Amino acid sequence: MTGEDQLPSWLPGPARDAVLGFLAQAPSIAPEDRVAYFDNDGTLWCERPTYVQYEFFLDALRRRVRDDPTLAEEAEFRAVLAGDVSAVGEIGLERVALALAGLFRGIGPGAFTREVRAFLRSGTHPTLGHPLSDIRYGPMLELIAALRELDFTIGVVTGGGTEFVRSISQELYGVPPERVVGTMIAYELGQDVHGRPALRRTGRVLGDVNEGAAKVTNIQTQLGRPPVLAAGNSAGDTELLEWAAAADGPHLSLLVDHDDPDREFAYASEAQSFAAGEPITETARRLGWTTISMRNDWASVFAQDNRRQSGGGVGG
């Protein structure tokens, strides 16, 4: 299979050459070591102007406020509903995130999954107007498909909520929920009205936000297999990409650079839970990773663009 067949949305250049070179060498990797991990927001789908998970919680908050207007008086919710970025900053992003997560305190994992899936199927991107399932990056779906042809195990390692991404990972990327590692909300075990075991969400986060070194340690504790390919877009993915680059034999570390204001957005990706010492693109240059320029390396950006060009569907 040629590069055009494997990666039809990738333009000729160093990024595609690096990916195709890795795919060509992949059969020499022991099957049990063929593991690839992808960050989600900004790597597999669009994260601007706000995260999809944030829009999900905002939608839930608006519905709750209709039923209980007093919620809008709480400082965290007042700032969110007003879109007051400075107020959110003063309150603290972590405190605001926990308040939003608390909207689902007490429900079971199945009910939460149904809420997320319903939002995914009904929601649209606030500025692009695409259905949310269509803000996936088509070129990354092509890469995942090519890796699957080579019997790679694919995982999603996200700074977002584990349960949120697990709810949609199979549908969006063909990744089963047990291969999703993210920021974890604690559960409590109790009983339902019939006396059967029942799990309920709390408003507490287990451990650290899944960024930086936490991505690596959480992969080890939850999945137990290191990657030979990793893809990310921000400083929160640095340690993950370094880990892949340290693998013996063929390996590949990919950084998605958002430099296309016409088809997506142009911005410098940053970690959400800490400040990095240098721009992530400079880190990539210094460490020898492969940087993917959306503007120069992708003929099309979104999954729906691929369908328009081919007249068919895009597998994930």
Confidence tier at 307 by pLDDT (50, 70, 90): low
pLDDT of residue 144: 98
The pLDDT of residue 310 is: 45
Q: Is residue 79 part of a domain?
A: yes
pLDDT over threshold 80, residue 306: no
pLDDT band at 303 (very low <50, low <70, confident <90, very high): confident
pLDDT at 308: 47
- Does residue 316 belong to any structural domain of this protein? no
Nearest to 185, CA basis, from 107, 122, 115, 295: 107
**What is the pTM assigned to this prediction?**
0.94
Q: Which two tokens stand for residue 132?
A: 């949310």
pLDDT at 3 over 80: no
Query: Domain of 115?
Result: 3-310
What is the helix (H) or strand (E) element at residue 190, kind and residue range?
strand 180-191
Whether 205 is covered by a domain: the verdict is yes
* H helix runs in 26-92, sequence order: 52-67, 75-82, 85-91
How many folded domains does the chain comprise?
Answer: 1
DSSP at 230 = E
d(CA 221, CA 252) in angstroms, rounded, equals 22
Q: Any residues with CB less than 8 A from the CB of 92 and at least 6 apart, and which? A: none
Look up tokens 């693998």; give the residue.
247
What CATH number does residue 144 fall under? 3.40.50.1000
Q: Decide if 315 is inside a domain.
A: no
Q: 174-212 pLDDT, tens per residue? A: 999 999 999 999 999 999 999 999 999 999 999 999 999
